[in-house]
Chains A and B, each alone.
Chain A
Amino acid sequence: EAGVAQSPRYKIIEKRQSVAFWCNPISGHATLYWYQQILGQGPKLLIQFQNNGVVDDSQLPKDRFSAERLKGVDSTLKIQPAKLEDSAVYLCASSLGGSRANYGYTFGSGTRLTVV
């Protein structure tokens, strides 16, 4: 079974620039999550999708971050404009969703963003 795919693997941008990350979840997984992991900390949930609808985006800085999951499969996370404190690893995860949301919960390898 293919895992959760993320790209790019690394990205370096200047502050105030824009950046986008892509995630392809495991086939059949209804729920998709984006996490931010700052160095030395645990992952923090940014947004959770159930199919193509947003379930939880309470910790997403909506003035600069946006995410979408068109057609309930792939997802993109965008930052515009980026700040220095956005430097982190952005992890995508997916799970079966619904009553089985705790099953098959799998993380991608992440995108390491450095804002200079």
Chain B
Amino acid sequence: AQKVTQAQTEISVVEKEDVTLDCVYETRDTTYYLFWYKQPPSGELVFLIRRNSFDEQNEISGRYSWNFQKSTSSFNFTITASQVVDSAVYFCAGNFNKFYFGSGTKLNVKP
């Protein structure tokens, strides 16, 4: 099976807390890409990061960081010092010859 699973349906945190969004994938492909997207209430999907299967280096971009581990088929996303503007639905996706999206995690950041 080829799929992306986001087990956390909804997470609520208080501003300035760190939060990690989990993503687990299944694929039989050896070459693939993984993505994270943010979907604010306006509905547009905003690209956050792309990772290819050969690059397991973790990445940090400001308050955002990503942990890619092929051994556990996971691609987790951490927001450090969360802010109210981070409130959105976050989707993990994989391109295994075709795009597969997870069901999304709704993040609520309260002031």
| Chain A residues proximal to chain B, CB less than 8 Å | 33, 40-45, 48, 56, 89, 91, 93, 101-103, 105-110, 112
Q: Do residues A109 and B44 form an inter-chain contact, with CB atoms below 8 A?
A: yes
**Interface size band for B:** 20 to 34
B 24-68 to A, binary, CB cutoff 8 A, 1 in contact else 0: 000000000101010000111101001010000000000000000
Q: Please name the residue on chain B nearest to A93 by beta carbon.
A: B45
Chain B interface helix/strand/loop/mixed = strand
**CA of A27 to CA of B68 in the docked complex: distance in angstroms?**
32
* 10 A-B interface contacts by CB (under 8 A): A40-B103, A40-B104, A41-B104, A42-B91, A43-B99, A43-B101, A102-B95, A107-B44, A107-B45, A108-B44
> B50 to chain A: which residues have CB within 8 Å?
102-103, 105
Contact A43 B45 (CB under 8 A): yes
Q: State A108–B104 Cα separation when bound (angstroms).
A: 18
Contact of B101 among A40, A42, A103, A108 (CB under 8 A): A42
Q: Which residues of A contact B52 (CB under 8 A)?
A: 102
Given A110-B43, A110-B44, check contact A105 B35 (CB 8 Å): yes
| Pairwise interchain contact A112-B43, C-beta atoms closer than 8 A | yes
**Given A42-B101, A103-B50, A109-B42, 16 additional A-B pairs, CB 8 A:** A40-B103, A40-B104, A41-B103, A42-B91, A42-B93, A43-B45, A44-B101, A45-B99, A56-B98, A91-B45, A101-B95, A107-B37, A107-B45, A108-B44, A110-B43, A112-B43
- Is the beta-carbon distance between B99 and A109 smaller than 8 angstroms? no
Pairwise interchain contact B104-A42, C-beta atoms closer than 8 A: yes
Q: How far is the CB of B76 from chain A (nearest CB, A)?
A: 17
Pick the most buried of A43, A44, A89: most chain B CB atoms within 10 A of its CB.
A43
